[in-house]
Structure 1
Amino acid sequence: MEMTLIFVTVGFLAALQMAVPFIVKRTVVFGVTIPVDEVKNKQLRHYKKLYAILTLFVSIIVLATYFIWASMNTLTENQLIFAGLFMPFIILLISMALYFYFHMKVTQMKKRGQWFKDRKQVRVSELNLRTKDEMLPWIVYVIPMVITVGLVVFTLLNYSSLPDQIPTHWGPDGKPDAFTGKTYLSALTLPLVLLVMNAMFLGINELTRNSGIKLSAGNVKSSRVRQLRLRKYTSWLLFFISILVSMLFTFLQFTTLYENSVSDLLIITMPLAFSALVLIGTVILAIKVGKKDSDLDVEIIDESSGDVINTDDDQYWKGGLFYFNPEDPSIFVEKRFGVGWTLNFARPLGYIVLIGPLLVILIVTLL
């Protein structure tokens, strides 16, 4: 069962990585802004296809190598699972190396072609667009927090039933391999960490809601639809992940209370199932958003054939991945390569929302 979940997780990850160049905005190719009239450039399309083929090839090699290695060696279940968990990181590492290679190639093409020279660059926004925003309200994110508070109360009521040694870490086989003495703080570590994570999800959703909605100068109608879909489905995915995290932590807390009532197989498969469900949710988000391209609907493109194009803001994107723009009040902006949002690293509030909870979690776990 655990092997199946590993293969499913890696398969979804590989499929998502292969699809990324085709589901992001068409005027952004490997993190580089291009004009609408270059969207159908044969060389750029070749780069996208080559990236997808190479990613597929690498994924197949990684999976085949893992399967052959596992079949030819007498390994413990722990070793097999531990090695399997590293496969997604290998695929991500190699796909990111491919991304940076093609990012460099597209950047060189852009410089040689002088695609933005002597063309009027504009930014487009609609003041009333937020009235159509369908992101989940903040009150919805309180639901996981209520569940977590209930878990805290349940733990306190059953404190006397807890073992003298509280698990603090679980190995690849699902069995705890590190312990600490029973105290109220150690017993409540998981629920407290979960509560901080719930608050972080709430903060991310609200900061995303307040971020700017950027439209395409040459394709306002289509980009409007894409932006609204992105915001709506990202909000739902974030809530879905928040619920999944709450379920996972609740399960781990119950295994602490009733350590002999849960099978080792279930302890192993729960985190793997969590990873698989998150990946599936991400793929669904990519499909929902990718259906509507933000920068190319031939029937509605008007100004793109002239001298008016979107602003070339590559200067604010480091490597096409990291956004640093002090002039942009948005805390979160749409990713250039991938699905969802990324941080505007020029805004200190973003660090507080993301790094602050991580520091609190670190302090709680160390105590």
Structure 2
Amino acid sequence: MQLFSILSVILIFAPVALLLSFTPYLTRETISFGVTVSEYNYHTPILRKLRRTFATASVIGNGMVILVCLSLLQSANEESTAMITGVCTMLFIVYWAALHMLFHFKMKKIGGTLTTAEAPQRVKIDTTFRQNKLTYSNYWFLIHIAIIVAVAIISILNYDALPNVIPMKYDLQGNVTSSVPKTYLSVLAVNLVQLGVIALLMLVNWSIKTSKQQLTMTNPAQFAAKNIQFRRKWSLFTIITGLLLTILFALIQMNMFVPNLVLLTAISFIVPVVIVLGAVLLALTGRQGGGEIRNHQVDSERSKEQPVNDDDHWKLGFIYFNANDPSFTVEKRYGIGWTINFASPLSWVLLLFIIAIVVISIVLSQ
């Protein structure tokens, strides 16, 4: 009975835990646990040992949480399954946050003892960078919108065929656990959520294109080419993710008219797993920004020059707050992808928008 819950832990929690455990190996070679370092110092024995220690502690801690969760789920009933997964998720997040902060502050202490070249800090910029095609066009999302509109029209045309009470949620036995009265709003609410999600993904795709350029001290031209590839593959992933979510929501809506619980349950499980595994595999194919995970340069070829240090603008090593920076999005320091500048008023509008989508989705599933 708990097969889907157990598989979700194995196919979603475990890959994410693995990715988080090895995140320090995926960051730029000028960042160590949210602290700016030179490329040379990143590969010194003391920082290599710090990364190994973090990965070991993370794998062991997250592994224990996952094993406990799997053990409890084997004998859980329908009511306790959600509580167990919720508690395990919280433990997972709390442990990661605590471990990250512990190693971040360790790194700050170590950072003061590292030697750097006596040279002014420089920023390398490729003035032709923006002339390249950095992402796939947002016009691709017209396919997603067309599907949403088509499903909405079908729903309106078949409105009278629906029962007066519409089932919204089922248990694993196929019994209805949540339903809402039939209204045009309740029938089309899924489409509104879809449009909100697509708007958010279009913003993400735009952010990938417009986020500021960051080049390495060594081989900046080569890194610029890899950075373009990095942006384009994550742009494509964003578009594909939007399409998969659009199809999932469309099936949920069509289930009101032609119930098929087996198909809906299977797709509802498969789509999140595919998205998560795709993100994990994509993240493991290259370092943040487009660098190589395995760098075969010898130490003498790595730059000892200290990159521009803006650590003061990164709270706890991963929250960016810089009122003097007009950029809305910047590359993450910890993890793969992009984050927002929390000093920008637009970032708070975006957060409220995301919260609104989540709240509406939760209300609809009740």
After superposition, the C-alpha distances for 1:248-267 in whole angstroms (9 at most, x for unaligned) are 211211222234x323xx44
Q: Give the counterpart of 2:319 among 317, 322, 333.
A: 322
- Structure 1 distance, partners of 2:64, 2:354, is 38
Q: Secondary structure at the match of 2:255?
A: helix
Q: Secondary structure at the match of 2:215?
A: coil
Question: Higher mean Cα deviation, 120-129 or 211-220?
Answer: 211-220
Cα 1:239–1:312, aligned 2, differ >3 Å: closer, same or farther? same
Following superposition, the deviation at residue 77 of structure 1 comes to 4.4
Cα 1:109–1:90, aligned 2, differ >3 Å: closer, same or farther? same
After superposition, the C-alpha distances for 1:165-184 in whole angstroms (9 at most, x for unaligned) are 23455667775533322111
Residue of structure 2 in register with 1:198 after alignment: 198
Q: Give the counterpart of 1:15 among 18, 39, 58.
A: 18
Q: Secondary structure at the match of 2:22?
A: helix
Amino acid of the residue matched to residue 274 of structure 2?
A: L
8 Å CA contact retained: 1:24, 1:337: yes
Question: Higher mean Cα deviation, 28-37 or 354-363?
Answer: 354-363
Q: Secondary structure at the match of 2:286?
A: helix
TM value normalised by structure 2: 0.87
After superposition, the C-alpha distances for 1:293-316 in whole angstroms (9 at most, x for unaligned) are 3996637987824xx432011111
Residue of structure 1 in register with 2:158 after alignment: 158
- Structure 1 distance, partners of 2:84, 2:264, is 17
8 Å CA contact retained: 2:121, 2:308: yes
Residue of structure 2 in register with 1:334 after alignment: 331
Cα 1:23–1:363, aligned 2, differ >3 Å: closer, same or farther? closer
Following superposition, the deviation at residue 99 of structure 1 comes to 0.9
Following superposition, the deviation at residue 333 of structure 1 comes to 1.1
Amino acid of the residue matched to residue 306 of structure 2?
A: I
Amino acid of the residue matched to residue 231 of structure 1?
A: R
Amino acid of the residue matched to residue 20 of structure 1?
A: T
Q: Which runs of structure 2 are paired with 1:153-302 in the superposition (5 Å)?
A: 153-168=153-168, 176-259=176-259, 261-263=260-262, 266-290=263-287, 292-293=291-292, 298=297
2:66 aligned with 1:69, yes or no?
no
Residue of structure 1 in register with 2:105 after alignment: 104
Q: Give the counterpart of 1:27 among 4, 26, 30.
A: 30
Amino acid of the residue matched to residue 31 of structure 2?
A: V
- Structure 2 distance, partners of 1:173, 1:347, is 47
Amino acid of the residue matched to residue 107 of structure 1?
A: K
Following superposition, the deviation at residue 187 of structure 1 comes to 0.9
Q: Which runs of structure 2 are paired with 1:51-66 in the superposition (5 Å)?
A: 51-66=54-69
Following superposition, the deviation at residue 78 of structure 1 comes to 5.0
- Structure 1 distance, partners of 2:113, 2:250, is 56
8 Å CA contact retained: 1:166, 1:256: yes
- Structure 1 distance, partners of 2:300, 2:119, is 17
Amino acid of the residue matched to residue 199 of structure 1?
A: A
Q: Which runs of structure 2 are paired with 1:338-357 in the superposition (5 Å)?
A: 338-356=335-353
Q: Which runs of structure 2 are paired with 1:138-149 in the superposition (5 Å)?
A: 138-149=138-149
After superposition, the C-alpha distances for 1:219-245 in whole angstroms (9 at most, x for unaligned) are 413432342132112111211221121
Following superposition, the deviation at residue 69 of structure 1 comes to 3.1
- Structure 2 distance, partners of 1:149, 1:364, is 19
Q: Secondary structure at the match of 1:190?
A: helix
Cα 1:314–1:172, aligned 2, differ >3 Å: closer, same or farther? farther
- Structure 2 distance, partners of 1:57, 1:360, is 35
Cα 1:102–1:332, aligned 2, differ >3 Å: closer, same or farther? same
Following superposition, the deviation at residue 366 of structure 1 comes to 6.7
After superposition, the C-alpha distances for 1:72-100 in whole angstroms (9 at most, x for unaligned) are x4x32453465246544432331221111
Following superposition, the deviation at residue 142 of structure 1 comes to 1.9
- Structure 1 distance, partners of 2:46, 2:9, is 36
Amino acid of the residue matched to residue 311 of structure 1?
A: V
After superposition, the C-alpha distances for 1:33-73 in whole angstroms (9 at most, x for unaligned) are 111220112121111111111121123222322333345x4
- Structure 1 distance, partners of 2:175, 2:94, is 29
Question: Higher mean Cα deviation, 25-34 or 346-355?
Answer: 346-355
Following superposition, the deviation at residue 30 of structure 1 comes to 1.0
Q: Secondary structure at the match of 2:121?
A: strand
Residue of structure 2 in register with 1:37 after alignment: 40
Residue of structure 1 in register with 2:128 after alignment: 128
- Root mean square deviation of aligned Cα: 3.0
8 Å CA contact retained: 1:22, 1:48: yes
Cα 1:228–1:237, aligned 2, differ >3 Å: closer, same or farther? same
2:303 aligned with 1:304, yes or no?
yes
Amino acid of the residue matched to residue 36 of structure 1?
A: E
Cα 1:123–1:297, aligned 2, differ >3 Å: closer, same or farther? farther
5+ long unaligned stretches in structure 2: none
Amino acid of the residue matched to residue 314 of structure 1?
A: D
Q: Secondary structure at the match of 2:261?
A: coil
8 Å CA contact retained: 2:321, 2:343: yes
Residue of structure 2 in register with 1:92 after alignment: 93
5+ long unaligned stretches in structure 1: none
